[in-house]
């Protein structure tokens, strides 16, 4: 799946996943809405927010806030959020995944990035200005105009990252406006009893067969990291939902697509405090957590809402709290006295989770084999049914989801299925909806970016196909995207190389002819956790690559209003066998974990180098070796035949770079043969 837009604006500009260039300055394009006429013209998709705004403004007056900032995140900096946390959506009507609203007594504005401009125009009513940028500087300038000097600007500090808080603070610094963190969330007050209730479904233990190690081993490992750290932290604070889920081998379903549950953890050198709605724990989960009580491996269950108070008490002592700033809100961070803080970008749990052990690797590989079966079934089904003109994007999405559900250990899709035909695929994040979905045809390219949750691993794969006659540009672009995928996948590099310093290998074949793509090149992935698992990947805020990490590799090319191409595979970082050795640690390379062939119809073999073709052929051998037996086991004979056909080795001497030298000899040969024949 295309990497998410990350919070920091500079990452957005460099690595935004929106198709094409993300504009740096607000656009001057026309709005779909016409708020200058009376009554205003609004599309039927707009939400009337007058009453909601009035309610919020009432709570703002009570708290003396002249402006109130509402973000799109939750208290755990989650990528996906629950309905209960969709405050921005409720207040504004805008349902895009990223944006910021600011409300004063007489103004309201929403900031969002180019992926969402059209959607925002369709969903906002005339109470809202749409600001086509996401820079905090722009939000700050707007606030400075809207709020007189001496006024207070408020926000809920538990919904802002430390970085974002600092950015607002810097923008307002010295301006006479004061940034006030309000622990009461004013949107929640306005929302009142209409706000969805917290999830009450069961939180369960992963069966032992699906865990890489016991939670006790994981806790011991983290405590060892604490002891080995020069600053000797006495505790680790976990705010990211995946962190607690991973550490205790627990799962839940509070958030769509990610099997996590609302929680915090404070792990000290002697005590383990898990902040969670305890009544939701399954009997087995509770027993597992309490099995070491009393003692250092006893998990003390605390109310989810008590984390701040508990942390405040804990940090009165002679302690040092280690936390990852990327997943901690300013609200919790601010509780800890500066000298008792050990800040790193990512907590030791995030760092430990990033490197999969042998068992976790084996599970992720196994999940990808079964996942490949579902994708191959889908490709064959498309090949047979698309020509009849009865498949649209939505039906396709439903079908692949169903094929995945039929695989062992399936727990549904790992993100909203992207199924995009023709020009729709030019929007990198497009998902079809029932009723407004494009019909697939042999006349255009089709891109699907899909993934599954399985108890043993999370998957994510993108294939782009064409059943008819692709244009020369489509074929060239597809081949160059594939070359990028191959060039990065087969790269050999030193241990601890930062992903951002090698991701251009996935772009070079496109760059060579003036093409590019406007999103990141890959992201980590979990064992039945997030499909975007930080901190692994190729962006600036990712950590260096180490053996045992999984990441996607997903170059693409998008042509506005015409077509979109993306080829995505999950790969595992492994040790490389090199001719020489230098340094103390072996060099690394990638092992392909996704196992689905590419579309032969879209490959222009003449562009590939012999090395690229050899690599492709060895990948295809690998697919046959791993997926073939599984297809047979599942008695999918037609799919097995399809796979054999689709993974025929390519001729290496068809390669373009060999052409020049070969051509000379070939023509000489034909002259000679001609001579012989004559």
Q: How far is the CB of 493 from its own copies (least distance, A)?
A: 5
Taking CB under 8 A as the rule, does residue 492 contact its own copies? yes
* CA–CA separation, 146 and 107 (whole Å): 8
Q: Is 318 in the site for its own copies (CB under 8 A)?
A: no
**Residues between 16 and 45 that touch its own copies (CB under 8 A):** 20-21
Between CA 376 and CA 285 the distance in angstroms is 37
Q: DSSP letters along 346-387, please?
A: S-HHHHHHHS--HHHHHHHHHHHHHHHHHHHHHHHHHHHHGG
Strands of the 67-70 sheet, one edge to the other: 129-131, 108-111, 100-104, 67-70, 152-155, 178-181
Among 280, 500, 566, 624, binds its own copies (CB under 8 A): 500
Which region among 93-101, 448-456, 493-501, 598-606 touches its own copies (by CB under 8 A)?
Answer: 493-501
Contact segment (CB under 8 A) with its own copies among 260-268, 409-417, 508-516, 625-633 equals 508-516
Q: What does the alpha-carbon distance between residue 3 and residue 449 come to, in Å, rounded to a whole number? A: 12
DSSP string covering 101-164:
EEEESS-EEEE--GGGHHHHHHH--TT-EEE----HHHHHHHHHHHS-TT-EEEE-GGGSBHHH
Site string for its own copies, 140-169 (x = CB under 8 A): -x----------------------------
Say whether residue 494 binds its own copies (CB under 8 A). yes
Residue 584 has a CB neighbour count (10 Å cut-off) of 6
Binding mask 640-659 for its own copies (x = CB under 8 A): ------------xx-x-xx-
Q: Applying CB under 8 A, which part among 177-185, 406-414, 510-518, 627-635 lies near its own copies?
A: 510-518
660 is a site residue for its own copies (CB under 8 A): yes
Of 442 and 668, nearer to its own copies (C-beta) is: 668
610 binds its own copies (CB under 8 A): yes
Q: Does 668 bind its own copies (CB under 8 A)?
A: yes
Q: How many CB atoms lie within 10 A of CB 183?
A: 9
List binders of its own copies among 75-94 (CB under 8 A).
none
Q: In the set 150, 661, 674, 677, which binds its own copies (CB under 8 A)?
A: 661
State in angstroms the smallest separation of the CB of 494 from its own copies: 5
DSSP characters for 550-569? Answer: EEEE--EEEETTTEEEE-BE
Q: Give the binding range for its own copies (CB under 8 A) out of 274-282, 376-384, 579-587, 630-638.
A: 579-587
Tokens of 419: 């199924």
The pair of structure tokens assigned to 638 is 């037609």
Find the binder of its own copies among 51, 208, 676, 678 (CB under 8 A).
676
Which among 194, 159, 183, 160 is positioned nearest to 65, based on CA atoms? 183
**Among 471, 501, 601, 644, which residue sits at the site for its own copies (rule: CB under 8 A)?**
501
Among 161-169, 214-222, 420-428, 573-581, which window interacts with its own copies (CB under 8 A)?
A: 573-581
Is residue 95 close enough to count as binding its own copies by CB under 8 A? no
**DSSP-assigned beta bridge partners for residue 518:** none
- The answer to whether the beta carbons of residues 599 and 517 sit under 8 Å apart is no
CA–CA separation, 37 and 25 (whole Å)? 27
φ, ψ of residue 125 in degrees (nearest 5): -100, -175
Question: In the Cβ-directed half-sphere of 278, how many Cα atoms lie within 13 Å?
Answer: 14
Choose, by CB under 8 A, the member of 581, 635, 674, 678 that binds its own copies: 581
In three-state form (DSSP H/G/I as H, E/B as E, the rest C), the secondary structure along 194-251 is HCCCCCCCCEEECCHHHCCCCHHHHHHHHHHHHHHCCCCCCEEEECCHHHHHHHHCEE
Of 63-71, 348-356, 365-373, 670-678, the window that binds its own copies (rule: CB under 8 A) is 670-678
- Choice between 561 and 583, CB closer to its own copies: 583
Residue pair 454/409 in contact by the 8 Å Cβ criterion: yes
Q: Report if residue 582 touches its own copies, rule: CB under 8 A.
A: yes
Among 118, 497, 541, 617, binds its own copies (CB under 8 A): 497
Q: What is the DSSP letter of 76?
A: T
CB of 366 to its own copies, least distance (A): 31
- Asked if 172 touches its own copies (CB under 8 A), the answer is no
Is residue 298 involved in binding its own copies (CB under 8 A)? Answer: no
Identify residues 319-338 at the interface with its own copies (CB under 8 A).
338
In this structure, what token pair is assigned to residue 461?
Answer: 């794969």
Pick the stretch among 283-291, 295-303, 456-464, 495-503 that binds its own copies (CB under 8 A): 495-503
224 binds its own copies (CB under 8 A): no
- Which one of residues 128, 160, 587, 619 is an interface residue with its own copies (CB under 8 A)? 587
Read off φ and ψ for residue 631, nearest 5 degrees.
-60, -45
Report the C-alpha gap between 81 and 95 in whole angstroms: 11
183 touching its own copies, by CB under 8 A: no
With CB under 8 A as the contact rule, the residue among 584, 633, 635, 678 that binds its own copies is: 584
- 316 in contact with its own copies (CB under 8 A): no
What residues make contact with its own copies under the rule CB under 8 A? 20-21, 137, 141, 173-174, 230, 338-339, 473, 491-494, 497, 500-505, 508, 511-516, 576, 578-584, 586-587, 609-611, 652-653, 655, 657-658, 660-662, 664-666, 668-669, 672-673, 676
């Amino acid at each position: 799946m295309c990497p998410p837009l990350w919070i920091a604006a500079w990452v957005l500009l460099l690595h935004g996943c929106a198709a094409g260039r993300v504009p740096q300055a607000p656009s001057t394009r026309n709005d779909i809405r016409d708020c200058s006429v009376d009554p205003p013209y609004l599309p039927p998709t707009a939400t009337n927010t007058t009453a909601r705004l009035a309610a919020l403004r009432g709570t703002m007056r009570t708290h003396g806030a002249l402006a109130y900032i509402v973000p799109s995140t939750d208290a755990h900096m989650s990528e996906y959020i629950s309905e209960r946390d969709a405050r921005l959506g409720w207040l504004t009507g805008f349902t895009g995944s990223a944006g910021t609203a600011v409300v004063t007594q007489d103004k309201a504005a929403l900031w969002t990035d180019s992926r969402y401009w059209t959607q925002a125009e369709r969903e906002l009513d005339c109470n809202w200005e749409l600001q086509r940028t996401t820079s905090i500087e722009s939000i700050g300038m707007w606030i400075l105009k809207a709020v007189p000097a001496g006024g207070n600007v408020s926000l809920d500090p538990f919904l802002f990252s430390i970085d974002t808080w600092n950015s607002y603070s810097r923008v307002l610094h010295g301006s006479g406006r004061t940034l006030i963190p309000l622990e009461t969330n004013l949107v929640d007050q306005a929302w009142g009893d209409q706000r969805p209730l917290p999830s009450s479904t069961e939180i369960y233990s992963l069966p032992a067969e699906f865990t890489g190690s016991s939670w006790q081993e994981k806790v011991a490992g983290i405590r060892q990291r604490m002891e080995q750290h020069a600053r000797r932290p006495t505790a680790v604070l976990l705010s990211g939902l995946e962190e607690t889920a991973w550490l205790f081998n627990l799962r839940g379903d509070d958030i769509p697509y990610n099997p996590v549950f609302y929680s915090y953890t404070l792990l000290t050198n002697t005590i383990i405090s898990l902040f969670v709605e305890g009544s939701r724990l399954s009997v087995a989960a509770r027993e597992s957590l309490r099995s070491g009580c009393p003692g250092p491996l006893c998990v003390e269950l605390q109310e989810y809402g008590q984390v701040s108070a508990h942390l405040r008490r804990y940090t009165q002592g002679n302690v040092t709290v280690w936390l990852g700033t990327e997943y901690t809100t300013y609200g919790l961070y601010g509780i800890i006295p500066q000298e008792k803080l050990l800040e790193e970008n990512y907590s030791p749990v995030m760092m430990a989770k990033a490197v999969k052990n042998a068992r976790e690797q084996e599970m992720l590989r196994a999940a990808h084999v079964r996942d490949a079966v579902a994708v191959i079934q889908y490709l064959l089904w498309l090949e047979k049914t698309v020509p009849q003109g009865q498949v649209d994007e939505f039906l396709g999405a439903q079908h692949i989801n169903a094929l995945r559900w039929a695989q062992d250990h399936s727990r549904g899709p790992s993100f909203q299925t992207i199924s995009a035909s023709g020009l729709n695929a030019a929007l990198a994040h497009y998902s079809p909806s029932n009723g407004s979905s494009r019909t697939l045809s042999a006349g255009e390219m089709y891109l699907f970016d899909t993934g599954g949750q399985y108890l043993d691993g999370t998957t994510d794969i993108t294939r782009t196909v064409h059943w008819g006659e692709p244009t020369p540009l489509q074929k060239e672009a597809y081949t160059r995207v594939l070359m990028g995928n191959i060039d990065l996948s087969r790269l050999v590099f030193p241990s601890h190389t930062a992903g951002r310093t090698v991701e251009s290998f996935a772009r070079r074949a496109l760059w060579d002819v003036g093409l590019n793509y406007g999103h990141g090149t890959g992201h980590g992935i979990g064992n039945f956790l997030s499909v975007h698992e930080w901190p692994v990947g190729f962006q600036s805020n990712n950590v260096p690559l180490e053996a045992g990490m999984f990441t996607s590799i997903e170059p693409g090319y998008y042509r506005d209003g015409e077509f979109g191409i993306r080829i995505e595979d999950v790969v595992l970082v492994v040790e490389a066998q090199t001719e020489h050795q230098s340094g103390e640690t072996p060099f690394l390379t990638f092992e392909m974990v996704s196992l689905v062939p590419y579309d032969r119809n879209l490959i222009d073999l003449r562009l590939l180098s012999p090395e690229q073709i050899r690599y492709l052929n060895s990948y295809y051998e690998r697919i046959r070796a791993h997926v073939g037996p599984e297809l047979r086991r599942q008695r999918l004979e037609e799919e097995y035949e399809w796979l054999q056909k689709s993974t025929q080795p390519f001729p290496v001497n068809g390669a373009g770079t060999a052409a020049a030298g070969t051509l000379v000899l070939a023509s000489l040969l034909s002259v000679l043969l001609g001579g012989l024949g004559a």
